[in-house]
């Protein structure tokens, strides 16, 4: 069976858009926090090694 | 090029699972393991946080290389059964996002390596990313059946980077480990290429079985396996590794050569299950894991 209107845009799924946006924002927050911690511990480790 | 996942005028934000898949996590696991072994086998002690950060930088660098490779090869991937389900050819991710993700991850991995380790390791990491993306992916892979022979160097960098991250200098043992992965790559990939030959042919990638034929590929698998076995055992007689590593290398390399002999001396018929080729491919992965584990074990508990 062929699509009767092949060029018509698919209906926009607002809920899916928001879900993905939220999950990416949450992941980014966790990653940024983890990076801040990592950089803090790297700095402390380098100070310890230098001593 | 892959189609972007759009709904009308608005593109859906990429799902994090697709971005993760872009980094080729399975390849990354081998990279992380060999890099960790290179770092742990190095003389002296590295602060655990700095060691973790260096390995993380190598993992992110490998992930960036994988993402940029998939971005560039989205069109080719769409033509192969094995890769058609990847995020870009399947249309779940748009190319622009993949490119930005790859470049960003590469830049961040270099920054992290420089911050946590030294400029020598950072330079090697940058060289391995650039080599994989520009020399292997863009230049060699679509042009020559020797693509994975020369391109194998990109995958051989991790233990060397791990060692340099720990010591700041290059030594004979990590160079031998580099050589080992370099020589391991052709039999590993050609075993795979033998049983997915039609896929590569359909995509127009000049892999050895497609260009030189099966017989020649099988002979070359055996030849490389023999040279690789010599390189794997070499650290023992040369005095860079002890008997523990030496015996593990002898036994595993003998098995590798035996499996390569099975592949190298047979002829596949129409509808062949290609069991020896699949067995060699699976064993080659385990071989590298165990051998690198033995390098570390030998360093910690010399016989």
ipTM: 0.77
Task: Dump pLDDT digits (tens) for A3-36.
Answer: 555 555 566 678 888 888 888 889 899 999 999 9
Q: Does A48 touch chain B if contact means CB atoms closer than 8 Å? A: yes
Q: Does A13 touch chain B if contact means CB atoms closer than 8 Å? A: yes
In Å, how far is A16's CA from the nearest CA of chain B? 8
Q: Which residue of A has its CA nearest to B114?
A: A42
Check B49 against A24: CB less than 8 A apart.
Answer: no
Q: Does B44 touch chain A if contact means CB atoms closer than 8 Å? A: no
Residue B271 backbone zone (phi > 0: left; psi -120 to 50: alpha; other: beta): left
Q: Which residues of B touch A12 (CB under 8 A)?
A: 7-8, 10
Q: Does A14 touch chain B if contact means CB atoms closer than 8 Å? A: no
Q: Where are the alpha helices (DSSP H) in chain A?
A: 14-50
C-beta of residue B291 within 8 angstroms of C-beta of residue B248 = yes
Q: What is the C-alpha separation between B42 and B49, in angstroms, rounded?
A: 16
Q: Which of B10, B47, B53 sits opposite A49 (nearest CB)?
A: B47
Q: Which of A12, A24, A38 sits opposite B7 (nearest CB)?
A: A12
Please list the pLDDT of chain B residue by residue as tens digits (303 residues). Answer: 334 444 444 467 788 889 999 999 988 998 999 999 999 999 988 999 999 999 999 999 999 999 999 999 999 899 888 889 999 999 989 999 999 999 999 999 999 999 999 999 999 999 999 999 999 999 998 899 888 888 889 999 999 999 999 999 999 999 999 999 999 999 999 999 998 888 888 888 888 988 888 999 999 999 999 999 999 999 999 999 999 999 999 999 999 999 999 999 998 888 888 999 999 999 999 999 999 999 999 999 987
Check A46 against B7: CB less than 8 A apart.
Answer: no
Question: Which of these, B254, B252, B277, lies nearest to B264 by C-alpha position?
Answer: B277
Q: Which residue of A has its CA nearest to B14?
A: A20
Q: Does A18 touch chain B if contact means CB atoms closer than 8 Å? A: no
């Amino acid at each position: 069976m062929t699509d009767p209107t092949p060029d018509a845009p698919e209906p926009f799924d607002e809920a899916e858009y928001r879900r993905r946006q939220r999950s990416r924002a949450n992941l980014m927050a966790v990653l940024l926090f983890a990076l801040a911690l990592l950089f803090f511990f790297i700095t402390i480790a380098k100070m310890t090694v230098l001593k | 090029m892959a189609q972007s996942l759009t709904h009308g005028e608005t593109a859906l934000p990429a799902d994090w699972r697709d971005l993760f898949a872009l980094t080729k996590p399975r390849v990354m696991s081998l990279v992380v393991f060999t890099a960790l072994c290179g770092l742990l086998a190095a003389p002296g002690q590295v602060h655990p946080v700095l060691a973790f950060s260096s390995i993380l930088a190598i993992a992110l660098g490998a992930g960036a290389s994988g993402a940029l490779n998939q971005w560039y090869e989205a069109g080719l991937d769409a033509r192969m059964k094995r890769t058609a389900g990847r995020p870009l050819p399947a249309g779940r991710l748009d190319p622009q996002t993949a490119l930005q993700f790859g470049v960003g991850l590469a830049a961040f991995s270099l920054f992290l390596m420089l911050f946590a380790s030294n400029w020598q390791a950072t330079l090697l990491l940058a060289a391995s990313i650039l080599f994989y993306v520009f020399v292997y992916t863009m230049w060699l892979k679509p042009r020559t059946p020797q693509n994975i022979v020369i391109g194998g160097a990109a995958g051989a960098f991790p233990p060397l980077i791990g060692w340099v991250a720990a010591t700041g200098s290059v030594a004979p043992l990590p160079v031998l480990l580099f050589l080992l992965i370099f020589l391991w790559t052709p039999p590993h990939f050609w075993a795979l290429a033998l049983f997915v030959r039609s896929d590569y042919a359909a995509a127009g990638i000049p892999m050895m079985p497609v260009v030189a034929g099966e017989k020649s590929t099988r002979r070359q698998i055996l030849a490389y396996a023999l040279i690789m076995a010599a390189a794997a055992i070499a650290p023992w007689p040369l005095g860079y590794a002890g008997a523990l590593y030496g015996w593990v290398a002898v036994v595993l390399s003998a098995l590798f050569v035996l499996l390569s002999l099975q592949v190298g001396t047979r002829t596949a018929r129409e509808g062949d299950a290609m069991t020896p080729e699949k067995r060699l491919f699976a064993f080659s992965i385990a071989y590298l894991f165990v051998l690198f584990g033995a390098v570390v074990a030998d360093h910690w508990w010399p016989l």
